[in-house]
Chain A
Amino acid sequence: MFALLIGIDLFFSLGTIQNELNLFYVAAILFALRYGTIFGLISFGILLLYKVLYTGLMGGDIFLLFYDTNSLLTLFYYFAITVIVGLFSTSFRERYEISQFRNEELKDENTYLKETVDLLNTSQTTLRQKLLQSEYSLNQLYELAVSLDLPHPELIRSETIRLLKKTFLASDVAIYHVDRSQKSMRLLIRQTDKKEFPQTIFLDEASSMFKRFFQVQETTLRQLDDEDTDPMLLAPIIVDGTTREVVVIKRLPLRKLTTDDLHVLNILFSWIGTRIQNAENLIRKEQHEKMHKGTSFYKKTAFIELVAIQEQKKIHHGQPYIVLEYPLGYEPVSLESIEAIVHSYLREIDVVGYDPDENKLLLLLPGTSEEHRQRIYDRIEGILIQKGV
């Protein structure tokens, strides 16, 4: 700006700088007012230098600028005004900067408080959600409990699969029965049509995941070093302290499940065993009358009901079964002795009935394909003959 003013002054030969009142000093004072003492003094210095040079250039006496009292007083006057105005400007700027600093501090504090409030709100929301979720979980547990409050293990298993699909979004689910030797598992129920679940899994031949599962006998998730064909989750159904059955879930969207869901899932697995045990006890109590006295052989009508149930399972879950009939040659001495012979050669899931009218021994073998019928029939027949039944 001063270069422009000086340029105009020189170009038009105005000699403004020589006047006691001139725009240059006003400009310096304005500079001081706007930019503070330092820039004001720099401006004044530039003007003083220009005045000295201009005086010299115009053939004037530079000494007189400082010796002439009027000239000197004029310079001092403008110098003092520039300094005072500059100091006030600087003072105001400092106060402004301090206010600005305080303002920024307050803004920071405000932002922090806002963040804190947001966090509190988030926490509150989260807690509310947790609470709701908790309420939901309890509700879910209640529903599960109600759902599983069924009188028959087969119904409990079917309901279990349904709950796993509906509530936990699981797919490709199956439940296996573990034999007493814990060397094999036999398919009880499966949810999918795919042939992904074999009827029998021999644990010696099974993958490491199954072996790890049976070591701990707790809910086991597939790990990175497990095989891709391994199920996503294995969960024990414990009856009387023993892993009686195993829930096998091939696909389970763990990411969509909350921790609470998983807890509920574990509770579900715990409950299944209890519920099955209760159902068995109840069945046992209910079916006591359906059996021949002193045996576990079903009377014919009860046996037919069980076959009907198997038929339903075959229809809905594709689970095969076979029914074998053995006509006995004579009236048995006691059913208890026959039971003792037969049971040692049958599986736990196999059901035995006796038709006294036709003196037939009836066998219901769930999970057994038709193709094995003859072989099994022959084997059982051979045993019966061998024992003299």
Chain B
Amino acid sequence: MEKRTVISFSLFIVLFLVVVGAIQYLRIHSLHTLLPNVAEQQMNIDQLKSDASAKAGEHQLQVYLVRDEGDLAVETADNLLYGLQYAKLDVREVNPGAVGSIAPSPYTIIIFTGEDTTRWPFVEMKRYVEQGGNLVFANRFKDPAWNALTGIEEIGEYVPDVYGLNFEESIFPGYVDLNPPDDLFVHSVVDFAIADEANVMLSAEGFPILWEYEVGEGNVLYWNTTITNQKMIRGLFVQTLGTMPPAFVTAQAAIKLMYIDDFPAPVMDGKMKDVSSTPLDKSVKDFFAEDWWEDMVDLAKDDDLIYTGAMIGTYEEEMELVDEQLIKRGEFPMLYFGRKLIAHGGEIGLHGYNHQSLVTADEPIDPTYGYIPWQDKDEMKRSLLQAESVFENYFPAETLKSYVPPSNALNRTGVDAIAEALPELRTIASLYTGEPESGDFVQEFEFDATHPNLYHFPRVTSDYGEERGSIFQIVDAIANLGVFSHFIHPDDVIDPDRAFGRDWDTMFASLRKIVHDVKDQYPHLEAYTQHYATEKMITYQQADLNVTFDESTVYLAGEGLVNPSHFTIRLKPGQSLETGEFDFGTVEQWEADRPLYLVKLTSANAEIAIKGEAQ
């Protein structure tokens, strides 16, 4: 080699090393301040422009919920009321004494909750049904006097602890049969003998759980169970209501959310093969950076997901780290995973300074967590502000807009602390179903009663599993209001107690199947970050929907409707809607035994013709 080349080569090697060194120094210390992160994705929540001159039909569906005083009645009424409202059905609560005055109509549904039949006006209800009204008994009861309306021919004994739920007909796409020992539903039923004319729609362990029975011109639905007080039946309850009126419309918020809890968060040391059943001879950090995250990115691309992360500063129990230490500890996860999360359109929410739930010693929490209770609200606020400072250091242009309680445990002290420490924070996302007595912060889709700027947006399901109960809950939330909100923990793969011996490939395959099925069966669900999911849900809930009918037409109109808006339309057997694209949007048929359609509105008004005669 020539001397000149050797000198050139040496110079380039030196230059190369200098460049590498400079970049390494910069990337570790201050490059992120020179190159700010991509701004969080901005999503438009448009509204459809309403038209005052829109046509309306003669009939309007009216649901009456008869509120009683017994515990089961109250719980059921409260539960169903949320479900009916989420579906944007026009529901009114009435006392048992007032229900007799309701005029019978095919577009009127009266729902009785509880089992205190003595307060219910049988004669008026019989006349109401015979003249075309629709009646629903949401809980089982023993009263032979009502057999003429319920189709019960013989009343047996109460049967507790009946497990599962089986579909005798397909009511909504995606529901799966639940069988013992699946304990999502544990019924208390009555061992009834029912008329042959009664059409059983649901059953469990051989007991009829739901059947329909025609009386005169009207229809009766009888729920032989107590599970209607549970959230995970709301969607099914709403959809079964649709079997009674000539046509039935429910709304869909059409939201899809995927949470990654504890993300970004400090990554533990060690090798994967030493701490998990994933036999990789690489560090946990490299696994999450190279395998786990890449898989998650692929999943998001393939199945249309946007991730919302929930960051924590440290896994240490005590709040002993000063800001600089906390910032230093969060450097890699925040810069690497945090910026990637945002670059892929995601959102970083707050999980906490550490993984200690914001509850005081006076508030309930599952003692098995072993958390150290916070002294008071001020201490909670300090921790929240310290966590926020970490976030601000790495993402100075962003704000924390969502909060996820560690272990989903939270109480009023914590909510107050959040609202006061982080006034710009908009959403608390905890659990849709859970055990409040164990400290679970169980929520409805609603504003906080104390802090009107704070919205509760519960996560419905979690984990990498394909348990049928979890699938049922996913489908039920979608059937109710069109929301898929799922969360996972990255560290499940390195926690033997939560991985249940599964390696990452197995867990990821399960997760992929869940989200792939959701995308496949419910393509109308749009992916959002938590913040924009909240904004869409608020807009959805605040919109006025006016659904009217005549003999052969469904009229949809509304004010403040989300653009686009989605609805389900259920018809009687023998009837159908023309599918395809129309001026108002699109109509497509869903898979169900009775005619079920998904309508997307891009206009605030729609007249949808019904074809065929009801059989």
Contact = CB atoms under 8 A, between A and B. Distances in A.
Contacts of B538: none
A62 interface: yes
A87 B1 CA distance: 10
A64 B339 contact: yes
Interface in B1-60: 1-2, 4-5, 8-9, 12, 16, 19-20, 23, 26-27, 31-32, 35-38
Contacts of B32: 63, 67
B12 A37 contact: yes
A87 B16 contact: no
B296 interface: no
A91 interface: yes
Interface string A85-118: 0010011001100100000000000000000000
Contacts of A80: 16
Contact of A61 (B12, B20, B342): B342
A136 interface: no
Contacts of B289: 69-70
B336 interface: yes
Contacts of B4: 94
A94 B342 CA distance: 50
Interface string B305-342: 00000000000000000000000000000011001101
Contacts of A37: 8, 12
B434 to A, nearest CB: 36
B37 A91 contact: no
Contacts of B343: 59-61, 64
Nearest to A75: B23
A72 B335 CA distance: 14
Nearest to A69: B289
Interface string B243-262: 00000000000000000000
Main secondary structure of the interface of B (DSSP, over half): helix
B583 interface: no
A87 B12 contact: yes
A90 B9 CA distance: 10
A94 B4 CA distance: 9
Nearest to B23: A66
Contact of B9 (A68, A70, A87): A87
Contacts of B9: 87
Nearest to B20: A76
A367 B125 CA distance: 183
Given A63-B32, A63-B339, A72 B12 contact: no
Interface string A357-383: 000000000000000000000000000
Interface residues of A, number: 23
A156 interface: no
Contact of A87 (B8, B19, B23): B8
B339 A72 contact: no
Given A61-B343, A83-B12, A91-B5, A67 B31 contact: yes
B290 interface: yes
B1 A61 contact: no
A87 B6 CA distance: 9
A79 B16 contact: yes
A345 B290 CA distance: 143
A353 B27 CA distance: 139
Contacts of A79: 16, 19
Contact of A66 (B16, B27, B36, B38): B27
Interface string B176-202: 000000000000000000000000000
Contacts of A61: 35, 37-38, 339-340, 342-343
Contacts of A60: 38, 343
Interface in B522-538: none
B1 A91 contact: yes
Best-surrounded residue of B16, B36, B290, B343 (most CB of chain A within 10 A): B343
Contacts of A95: 2
Contacts of B26: 66
Nearest to B4: A94
Contacts of B31: 63, 66-67
B371 to A, nearest CB: 34
Contacts of B1: 91
Contacts of A91: 1-2, 5
A28 to B, nearest CB: 15
A225 B533 CA distance: 120
Nearest to B28: A67
Given A66-B23, A67-B27, 9 more contacts: A61-B35, A61-B38, A61-B339, A61-B343, A63-B32, A67-B339, A83-B16, A87-B5, A91-B1
28 contacts: A37-B8, A59-B38, A59-B343, A60-B38, A61-B38, A61-B339, A61-B340, A61-B343, A63-B37, A63-B339, A64-B336, A64-B340, A66-B35, A67-B27, A67-B31, A67-B336, A67-B339, A68-B336, A69-B289, A70-B289, A72-B23, A72-B27, A79-B16, A79-B19, A80-B16, A83-B12, A87-B12, A95-B2
